[in-house]
Amino acid sequence: MFQFRFQVTLHWNCLLKAAFTPQVFQPKRGFGNRSGTDDRSRPLQRMRRTPQFFGVSENSVGSKHLSLNLTAFGPGGRAKSHRHKDYETAIYTVSGKIILLHGPNLETESLMEPGSFCFIPAEVPHVAFNLSMTEPATALTARNDPREQENVVLMPELDTAELDERIATRRAEG
């Protein structure tokens, strides 16, 4: 089995020579910036509970049609229930085991392990969490939306005590 290791200081090379000059840059850690500015020194609103390292986006390189970021789930890490307004998401699991609960009532479960790919259609409610309480988990996420978090719609009505219990039970099962 292959194991990939990523460091926070990833370099992303833009190889296209069409609309703009290729750029190499350091991704910035953030939680989404709803102000439309590029100031990521302080999170204005955390859309999810998981740190993201933004690589390619509208803010970082002027992307018009996609974004690519690294999502790092700490031990016991979990996102908030949400959906993506009008865009699709593709995820590649780099390390750890991540559970994705999805569907109108989060009734379907998918296990994402290193080397697995996941597709999330637009508008599908979902929540992801690290299955481990002791090890981190990391995923590479691509979207056909250049904005980093602006089109993420939180669904607090799905973040219930029943969901917390379900996640705790699933973690105990391993």
DSSP of 75-116, one letter per residue?
Answer: TT-BPPPEEETT--EEEEEEES-EEEEESTTS-EEEEE-TT-
> Which phi-psi region, left, alpha or beta, contains residue 107 (left: φ > 0; alpha: ψ -120 to 50)?
alpha
Confidence of residue 49 (pLDDT cuts 50, 70, 90): low
Residue 43 contacts by C-beta under 8 Å, 6 or more apart in sequence?
A: 30, 31, 32, 33
Residue 121 contacts by C-beta under 8 Å, 6 or more apart in sequence?
A: 88
Task: Count CA atoms closer than 13 A to 19's CA, side-chain side.
Answer: 5
**Considering Cα of 36, then 149, then 139, then 171, what sign does the dihedral take?**
positive
- One-letter identity of residue 53: F
Structure confidence by residue, pLDDT tens digits, 24-35: 444 454 443 333
Confidence of residue 108 (pLDDT cuts 50, 70, 90): very high
Average pLDDT of the residues in 90-109: 95
How many residues comprise the chain? 174
pTM of whole model > 0.75? no
Are residues 127 and 147 in contact, defined by beta-carbon separation less than 8 angstroms?
no
Domain ranges of the chain: 66-166
Which residue's structure tokens are 């500015």?
37
Does 66-166 carry CATH code 2.60.120.10?
A: yes
Considering the chain, what percentage of its residues have pLDDT values greater than 90? 55
